[in-house]
Amino acid sequence: MSQFDFPTHPLPCAVPAWHGTVTARQWREAAQGVLAQGGRLIALWGGDQRPHGEDFAVHAAFAMRPGLLWVTLPIQSAFPDLSDLYPAASRMQRAVFDMLGVTAEGARDTRPWLRHAGWARDAHPLRYDFDPSNRTTGGRDDYAFVQVEGDGVHEIPVGPVHAGIIEPGHFRFSALGERVLRLEERLGYTHKGIEKRFERMAVQEGARLAARVSGDSTVAFSWAYSMAAEAAAQVSIPARAAWLRALCLERERVANHLGDLGSIGNDAGLAFGLAQFSRLKEDWLRSNRMAFGHRYLMDAIIPGGMVRDLDRAHASRLALEIQTVDKEVGRLKAIYEDHSGLQDRFINCGKVAPELAANLGLTGLAGRASAQSWDLRVQFAASPYDQLDVRMATHRNGDVAARVIVRFEEIQESLRLLRAILDKLPEGTHCTTLPAVPEGRRGAGWIEGWRGEVLIALETAAQGRIARCHAHDPSWQNWPVLEHAVIGNIVPDFPLINKSFNLSYSGHDL
């Protein structure tokens, strides 16, 4: 990447990727240069380098036309703020401080994000000398929500515990009557210490933890982690394993879209939609278990390939199921499009204009519904997607209706891809042994999950263990956009708008 004034070198990854170490000035210049070229911030995270005789480091991953750029800035206690360039960086930088105690200089918002008084104020869990057994807390969690003032303005707190089975998140509405003037989110309630747990795990063992970052995206995280581990080990997987991974990823995409289309219909008053899509999803998940041993394909993908192969009988059964689901989803799509009550709730509800989506970094299916034409299966098609000619679904209106249409079209495209995968599935072994990974290696995994792009950034330690593993869910980018999508709508429309995004709490709260 010669367009930057700092040296970069190719980064092991199944897609084009580079890494560079920068100064504080170059940190800002790199971010500005990426933005000027139409690139995006994917993730920002930190690490404690003191065990290696250094101080701390912050890292940023950017998506550019040539590929993935991973930039590292060694620091002592502070680094330049990027939130003025990339709004999504704000929460990531706040999380870096909570975890490491290093500050983004010049940032406007320095409130805690993940801490929730779960540990002492002067303790930072990702420092190597943090004691996990220390249960000392930081006292009360007095979070400074932004106050909206004016005649008739009132606040409506929702959560963090909800009436349904969704995970915990606090939503603070400022409303005038039923009209939403502002929404502010507070997340971090499901912080599980995953990134701390990765430390000193064996590289091969880390795949099981990666699969549990976000349960509805277990395939995406498993594949991204395995891609990073294989890159660090400099090993290639068998062709059959890559095709089986794609099979699992598309089945994960279909399962989630089926469930969400039913829930979106139900939130708009069509219980029939929930019943029909729930039936289809349940049968689909049972087929997952039959073919790969787990309804949500947990632990099906490991570094080196797949845990189990797909035999001819199971492949034939999956092919028949694809035909059935294709016909039934087509009928349900016609019902949704012809149902005036649904369309009245969907159209112009929770709208995110393309300009706003671009400014805030909206990604994944929600981004594609707001004219953000980005899908890793298209732009950086790793095997076997480079042989499948994926057709990207995009729309411009950016409302609930557009996000529903994208889901229907992505189901149809995934079913087409699944047929092609089963028809072209190469013969051969489904797994290879991952060799020992030397200390000081970096590897990146970058996968288009059903919700959006999933990134794994892996650094190795001695004896084949993990020094640092950062797992990034696209919900980091998309949660702040939801706050904007709700403005101007009525409070009762929030569940519908929220479900049309269906963002991850657990994938965000590592």
Could you read off the pLDDT of 199-242 as tens digits, one per residue?
A: 989 999 999 999 999 999 999 999 999 999 999 999 999 999 99
Calculate the average pLDDT of the chain: 95
**Residue whose pair of structure tokens reads 């992505």 in the numeric block:** 410
Long-range contacts of 390-397 (CB under 8 A, 24+ apart): 390/417, 391/416, 392/368, 393/368, 394/368, 394/369, 395/368, 395/369, 395/370, 395/371, 396/354, 396/370, 396/371, 397/347, 397/348, 397/351, 397/369, 397/370
Mean predicted confidence (pLDDT) in 276-292: 98
Q: Evaluate if residue 135 carries a pLDDT over 80.
A: no
How do the domains of the chain map onto residue ranges? 9-105, 153-186, 194-501
Please give the Cα distance from 384 to 17 (Å, whole number).
Answer: 18
CA atoms within 13 A on the CB side of 436: 6
Cβ atoms of residues 142 and 116 within 8 Å: no
Residue type at 410 in one-letter notation: E
Is the backbone of residue 358 left (phi > 0), alpha (psi -120 to 50) or beta? alpha
Fold for the domain defined by 9-105: Beta Polymerase; domain 2 (3.30.460)
Q: Evaluate if residue 464 carries a pLDDT over 70.
A: yes
Which tokens is 161 given? Answer: 């515990």
Mean predicted confidence (pLDDT) in 53-74: 95
Q: Evaluate if residue 134 carries a pLDDT over 80.
A: no
| pLDDT reported for residue 117 | 87
| pLDDT reported for residue 172 | 96
CATH of domain 194-501: 1.10.645.10
Handedness of CA 31, 146, 189, 169 (dihedral sign): negative
Would you place residue 141 in the very low, low, confident or very high pLDDT band (cuts 50, 70, 90)? Answer: confident
Query: Which of 49, 109, 38, 113 has its CA nearest to residue 76?
Result: 49
Cβ atoms of residues 498 and 349 within 8 Å: no
Q: First CA to last CA across the chain, in angstroms?
A: 31
Would you place residue 2 in the very low, low, confident or very high pLDDT band (cuts 50, 70, 90)? Answer: low
Are both 9-105 and 194-501 of the same fold? no
| pLDDT reported for residue 167 | 86
Percent of the chain past pLDDT 70, that is, above it, reads 100
Distant-in-sequence, close-in-space partners of 305: CB < 8 Å, separation ≥ 6: 237, 238, 241, 244, 429, 430, 431, 432
DSSP letter at 214 equals S
Residue type at 500 in one-letter notation: S
| pLDDT reported for residue 1 | 60
Q: Evaluate if residue 261 carries a pLDDT over 80.
A: yes
Handedness of CA 76, 81, 82, 83 (dihedral sign): positive
| pLDDT reported for residue 166 | 80
List strands edge to edge, sheet with 56-63.
9-10, 17-21, 68-75, 56-63, 40-48
Rounded to a whole number of angstroms, the CA Rg of the chain reads: 22
Residue type at 142 in one-letter notation: D
Distant-in-sequence, close-in-space partners of 372: CB < 8 Å, separation ≥ 6: 354, 357, 358, 362, 363, 394
Determine if the peptide bond prior to 384 is cis (ω within 30°): yes
